[in-house]
Amino acid sequence: MAKHQGHHKVAVIGGAGYAGGELLRLLAQHPCVELGMAVSESHSGKKLAEAFPGLRTPIVFERFDAARIIGECSLAFFAQESGFAMEHAEQLLAAGVKIVDLSADFRLRDPAVFQQWYKIEHRCPGLLERAVYGLPELHRDRISTAQLVANHGCYPTASVLALAPLLETRMIIPDSIVIDAKSGVSGAGRAKHTLDYHFPEMNESVRAYGVGGTHRHTPEIEQQASEIWESSITLSFTPHLMPMTRGLLATVYAKLVSPRTTAELIALYAARYNGEPFIVLHDEGFPATKVCCGANHCHIGIAVDDRTQRVTVVSVIDNLVKGAAGQAIQNMNLMLGLPETSGLEHGALWP
């Protein structure tokens, strides 16, 4: 694949949405990667700054052109709605272009489950087995050799990172898992125009949605939890919309198999995530969404209720960074043989 002055060229497809815009922002400061193409059908011919005024670049959005991507780029990010990547992935992969897909097209391994939750038929089910789930803290080795990575959902990222050490050590009763999660409004994407997302409707208000096990991220969380447990897990997950732009906080509850102390579980998480560049453990207190705004970190706090022997894990990410674009770049770094933290070393915006 073509490179520019020793750098990899990449394409961002669906660049006018929030996740695509965050990709463009992060790629602009990446030391080893050059943006080769930014694709947006709705903004074709317009400068990136017309969609994102903070991006100072002469690059203009283009229409999707597979031949150009194949001729110029090492890797393509798909940041479109579900259904687009599955239409074009096979052509790019056959030509040697690696793919990080930020939609849900390749996250679920069973095409029937995908159709059940996303209401469209999967048009290239043969790629599902080839796709590697893009959570480096669980699948780093496979991501490093992958051609196709299915970038996670934002809620599954926070939830699975909170649960993994407990599931791996079988310290909890799996059917006791309850996930109560809250996200900023940017998680809904830029194209949402229903009343629920208007400022007067959402400001100073908190709303549960996808209640009763109906949110599309439910099977994704269950799939990852079941793979860790090596047996099927069904859990309860309820998301909430918060009156803020960015941030996601998942509060995860589970019943312990046998009595444990908070100190024991903090030690467990410290051992499991030792050396992980983007996991921050809190020995005391619990993280707020502000601590990771704009950064690719996941902050985790743990406590045991001695009365009930339930463990509570609070996991916080920026839904657009570790929950989407930042982790996509983390995956890209692994796929291209670059240092995993390249372009992601910056801290959070504070205050």
Query: Which amino acid is present at 133?
Result: Y
Q: Give which of 300, 295, 288 is closest to 349, Cα–Cα.
A: 295
> Token digits for 73?
């780029």
For residues 102 and 151, the answer to whether their CB atoms sit within 8 Å is yes
> Token digits for 178?
């309850």
Q: Do the strands 98-101 and 148-151 form a parallel or antiparallel pair, or are they unpaired?
A: parallel
For residues 20 and 323, the answer to whether their CB atoms sit within 8 Å is no
Q: What is the DSSP letter of 185?
A: G
Q: Sign of dihedral through CA atoms 135, 136, 141, 147?
A: positive
Q: What is the DSSP letter of 323?
A: I
Question: Which residue among the candidates 154, 292, 293, 298 is catalytic per the annotation?
Answer: 154
Query: Which amino acid is present at 22?
Result: E
Q: Can you tell me the distance from the alpha carbon of 334 to that of 322, in angstroms, rounded to the nearest whole number?
A: 15
For the chain, state the CA radius of gyration. 20
Q: Give which of 28, 276, 318 is closest to 157, Cα–Cα.
A: 318
For the residues of 43-82, what is the DSSP string, one character each?
A: TTTSBHHHH-TT-----B-B---HHHHHHH-SEEEE-S-T
Does residue 298 have an active-site annotation? Answer: no
Query: Which amino acid is present at 48?
Result: L
Phi and psi at 150, nearest 5°, equal -90, 100
Dihedral (C-alpha) 189, 195, 200, 206: value to the nearest 10 degrees?
-70
Residue 269 is inside which H or E element, if any?
Answer: helix 262-272
Phi and psi at 289, nearest 5°, equal -60, -25
| Active site residue ranges | 154
